Amino acid sequence: MAPQIEEITGRYAHIDIEGLPHRIYWEEAGAGIPLVCLHTAGSDGRQYRAVLNDPEITRHYRVMVFDMPRHGKSSPAAGTVDDDYALTVQGYLAQIIAFCDAFELENPVAMGCSIGGRIVLHLALHHPDRFRALIGLQSSAHVDPYYDTTWLDRPDVHGGRMCGAFAHSLMAPTSPPEHVDETRWHYMQGGPGIFKGDLHFYRGAEGDIREDLGRIDTAKCPLHLLTGEYDFSCRPEDSEALAQALGIGVTIMPDMGHFPMSENPEVFLTYLRPVLERIRAG
Amino acid sequence: MFDDLTRTAAPGTPLAAQARGLDMRLMLRAGEEDTLVIIRDGAVTEARRGPHVTPTWDTRLAAAPGDWAEFLAPMPRPGYHDIYALLRNRRMAFEGNLLPMMQNLMYIKRLLASLRPEVA
């Protein structure tokens, strides 16, 4: 019997980011409006497998998912593998803009989760003219540190096991076990220190955008927010506070945790499709 | 509240096999009551209720009895479904030497979850 083959294609693109050559792995499917998807801290683009495989979406959207440098199949730039990695606002924005520029994407939609849900706020602030719309999953303006991230990367704790177990904590008990396992496996495969390094952007001062929310004009670039109710990293009340500050709505997804597109993809798609329809109609 | 761990993580169980080589004294505190869980080679050999006299333990997880009850519900509510959710909401404290717990975090989470009634 012939195997079932998914419509996703994965290739490598050579892209300069902040003056350094990178070999970036990306996956894509579909045609139409570019939809650039941004994975969570410490993981990779496999989180968006259901979006890439959804014919209702790929009929109208060119879904593109790249692995951030150091993540998934995008290796660190030459000579940087031993660097003390810490993601910054400037560096993260540069990756996304470089990817969009490299593929000459016109008016793409960007959708990000967690750190990706935070960086879309920075895209709204700094690059509103570049995007047709933005979608923030598990999106908040800041997170106060509530646990010690040094446990994620130290010599006497297996980083993969630790990061996988912590990712498991962030998922809803109602999510299908096979997708929970898939999601934590991505974390178990992450490179040493990348989860902790990404959280440099997410927690504390680096990515905190509270003071700049007043300068974001959602009329210029519409922003859509979707948040799972079991998430304790970006809690529903955190997204609601963000939405209130921006004067927009937020959809709270029951029975969903921190990784909606990956931990419970079929249910998540029922929330995403209407948002993409509205963006297309708009 | 924690007595059943000697059954769910008894020697030879699949749960015990997930932490082979782990020897640990895990204290679980519900309000003022401490239960000392003794783990040998990944298996729970004792779940000894207090009061204890000068107890020695590695890691202690402490929460109010009502919060433990919420955590151990067959399908816990948001905010109660995981020890880190309880930590975030300041309903649980991680105390003592956290290293053996962090080295075996998934096992410890599964150990506690094994006390939940099966969801039909």
CATH for A240: 3.40.50.1820
Flag if A230 and B109 touch (Cβ within 8 Å).
no
Residue B76 inside a domain? The answer is no
Residue found by looking up tokens 């060119």 in the block: A62
Backbone torsions φ then ψ of B76, nearest 5 degrees: -65, 150
Count Cα neighbours of B100 within 13 Å in the Cβ-side half-sphere: 22
Boundaries of domain holding B52? 5-64+93-113
Q: Is the CB of residue A273 less than 8 Å from the CB of residue A57?
A: yes
- The tokens of B23 are what? 């020897």
Query: Does B64 contact A at CB distance below 8 Å?
Result: no
Inter-chain contact A146–B88, Cβ cutoff 8 Å?
yes
Would you say residue B39 lies in a domain? yes
B74, part of any domain:
no
Answer yes or no: do B82 and A156 touch at CB < 8 A: no
Q: Do B88 and A147 touch (CB under 8 A)?
A: yes
In a domain? residue B69: no
By CB neighbour count within 10 A (0-12 exposed, 13-18 middle, 19+ buried), where does A11 fall? exposed
The predicted-structure confidence for B25-84, as pLDDT tens digits, reads as follows 999 999 999 999 999 999 999 999 999 999 999 999 999 999 999 999 999 999 999 999
Chain A residues in contact with B83 by the CB 8 A cut-off are: 169
- Distance of alpha carbon A153 from alpha carbon A151, whole angstroms: 6
Query: Does any domain span residue A1?
Result: no
Chain A residue with CA closest to B94: the answer is: A147
What range does the domain containing A154 cover? 9-281
Q: How many CB pairs under 8 A join A and B?
A: 54
In a domain, A35, yes or no: yes
Asked whether residue B98 is domain-assigned, the answer is: yes
Quick one: tokens of A95?
Answer: 């990756």
Contacts of B88 in chain A (CB under 8 A): 146-147, 232-233
| Within a domain: B79 | no
CA A39 to chain B, closest CA, distance in angstroms equals: 22
Do the domain assignments include residue A4?
Answer: no
Q: Which residues of A touch B103 (CB under 8 A)?
A: 156-158, 161-162
Q: How far is A32 from chain B (nearest CA, A)?
A: 38
| DSSP code of residue A3 | P
Count: domains in chain A:
1
Q: What is the 3-state secondary structure (H, E, C) of B10-68?
A: CCCCHHHHCCCCCCEEEEEEECCEEEEEEEECCEEEEEEECCCCCCCCCEEEEECHHHH
Chain A CB contacts of B20 under 8 Å are none
Task: Identify the CATH number of the domain in which residue B107 sits.
Answer: 3.30.1050.10
CA B111 to CA B106: how far, in whole Å? 8
Domain count, chain B: 1
* Window 162-181 of A, Cβ < 8 Å to B: 162, 164-166, 168-170, 172-174
Instruction: Kindly provide the residue ranges of all beta strands, DSSP E only, lying in A117-263, ordered along the sequence.
Output: 133-137, 223-228, 251-253
As given in the structure block, the two tokens for residue A18 are 């902040």
Cβ neighbours of residue A2 closer than 8 Å, sequence gap 6 or more: none
Residue B49 belongs to a domain: yes
Q: Do B106 and A230 touch (CB under 8 A)?
A: no
Asked if residue A3 is part of any domain, the answer here is no
Whether B97 is covered by a domain: the verdict is: yes
Q: What is the ipTM of this complex?
A: 0.97
The answer to whether B102 faces chain A, any CB pair under 8 Å, is yes
Task: Tell if the CB–CB gap between B81 and A147 is shorter than 8 Å.
Answer: no
- Provide the pairing of β-strand B33-40 with B59-63: unpaired
Q: Is there a contact between B39 and B24 (Cβ–Cβ < 8 Å)? A: yes
Instruction: Tell me the pLDDT of chain A (282 aa) as tens digits.
Output: 899 999 999 999 999 999 999 999 999 999 999 999 999 999 999 999 999 999 999 999 999 999 999 999 999 999 999 999 999 999 999 999 999 999 999 999 999 999 999 999 999 999 999 999 999 999 999 998 999 999 999 999 999 999 999 999 999 999 999 999 999 999 999 999 999 999 999 998 999 999 999 999 999 999 999 999 999 999 999 999 999 999 999 999 999 999 999 999 999 999 999 999 999 998
Nearest CA in chain A to B90: A146
Note whether residue A37 is domain-resident.
Answer: yes
Is A161 touching B (CB cutoff 8 A)?
yes
Residue A102 lies in a domain: yes
